[in-house]
Amino acid sequence: MQLNDRTIVITGGTSGIGQCLARTLRDRRNEVIVLGRAGERLDRMVEEGFATVPCDLGDPSSIETAAHQLAQRWSRVDVLFNNAGVQYNYDLMSEVLPVGRIHREIDIDLSGQILFTQLMLPLLSRSDCAMIVNTTSGLGAYPKADGLVYSAAKAGMRSFTVGLRNVLRSTSIRVLELIPPVT
């Protein structure tokens, strides 16, 4: 698949890998829609000329609202980059992990991306050659001691990617995995 003249949605597109992807893909004549939590970073992407949709992947109602807004504004999506992520570091030996932060980390890094992907399937199905790219992490296979929740969520995202690839095998939607070594 050539990545030009496509409609591309990027979660977590306001910083890091997602922001770099957004800028690079826009420079290749794509329409890039950046999703991120509302705030200054999303506003800066608007100033750079990106279409944006606010979305907090830790909040199912925000995910559903974002998916609805995308369906209202675009007739199809060619590429979905599931790139959002958050990593909280803990010392398991000396502190109790706050349950709320554990849930938030798993929701953003895994559960929210699964829900968002499911809600995007109708728009992706309208493309003659669609692609879902899930950003996982080498830490999903080789966890680091102070990032065990993040590592577990990324391992789950890898399993979701493999399973989704099998489920969508007979469709026009391809599923790929981007594995940065230690993010």
Q: Is the dihedral of CA 40, 42, 104, 150 positive or negative?
A: negative
Q: What is the CA radius of gyration of the chain?
A: 16
CA dihedral 141, 179, 32, 3 (to 10 degrees): -140
Residues 55 and 63: beta-carbon distance below 8 Å: yes
b/e 24-37 (16+ beta carbons within 10 angstroms → b):
ebbeeebbbbbbbb
Distance CA 1, CA 53 (A): 25
Q: In what order do the strands lie in the sheet with 31-36?
A: 51-54, 31-36, 7-11, 79-82, 130-135, 173-178
Catalytic member of 88, 90, 142, 150: 150
Residue 142 annotated as catalytic: no
Which residues are catalytic, by number?
150
